[in-house]
Amino acid sequence: MQGNSSFIIDAQFIAPPEGVMVKNYCFDGEPQFLSEQRVKPLKHFVIHETAGRTASRCKKTLISKKLGVHLILDRDGSVSCHGDLANETMSHANQLNKTSIGIEVINPYAPKYAKGMDIKTIPAEWWTWCPDKEDRRYVLPTDEQLVILLKIVPFLCKLLKIPYEFPTADLNKKKRKINGWQKEPGKKRAKPKAGIVAHRDFSGHSDGRYILEYLIAHSLSN
């Protein structure tokens, strides 16, 4: 059946790369999140992490807060699509809402939020938020999630004409956010150049950087 395992892009059902399963709101009963029609050019692919444990909780939270995100990537590597990637904008990325698509990667992020889960951690990096100050570790995304990200991010960038570039790659311990990201009187918040960015890079949030650096490392080695 057409539409079985597909992204929805410009009102068409688009089959994902080999080995990727995508559920969507037309065929699989996934929720369609609140959206507006896209009027500005699509320039950014924003990487999020939930700081929560499950996709079902993430969906409930987004719906109750009247937010949305185009894609959710669950711990087992399965993907769900919650809006038309080309034609709809959603509230997930502050000043980039109108010019982006977003993916939520289900990841508890901090060990504090992963109680009882089978997790791998690394010591905190410069970008890591540690809600428990005694436990300075970051919970890694699963291997299944990372494999799927390496398949779908380049695939979707090509289809949607988002440059496969990393405009915030230069951020580091000394320069942690893009210049002008904060709200200042009489000024608009700055935006990164077109490409793939972590939510934390241009906002007060803390998510997405590990995955961004993983994508950068793998784009250099290819």
Which residues form the interface with Zn ion (CB under 5 A)? 48, 199, 205, 207
Task: Give the nearer residue to Zn ion in terms of CB position, either 151 or 205.
Answer: 205
- Cβ 92 to Zn ion, closest distance in Å? 7
The encoded tokens of residue 64 equal: 């109750």
Q: How far is the CB of 222 from Zn ion (least distance, A)?
A: 26
H or E element, residue 89: strand 88-89
Q: Please, what is the minimum distance in Å from the beta carbon of residue 90 to Zn ion? A: 12
Q: Residues near 221 by Cβ (< 8 Å), separated by ≥ 6?
A: none
Q: Which is nearer to Zn ion, 21 or 34 (CB)?
A: 34
Q: Pick between residue 205 and residue 218 the one whose CB is nearest to Zn ion.
A: 205
The smaller minimum CB distance to Zn ion, of residues 17 and 129, is found at 129
**Pairing state of beta strands 195-198 and 44-49?**
parallel
Tokens 């009489």, residue located: 186
Nearest-approach distance from CB 91 to Zn ion, in angstroms: 11
Is residue 57 within 8 A of residue 113, CB to CB? The reply is no
Q: How far apart are CA 207 and CA 209, in angstroms?
A: 6
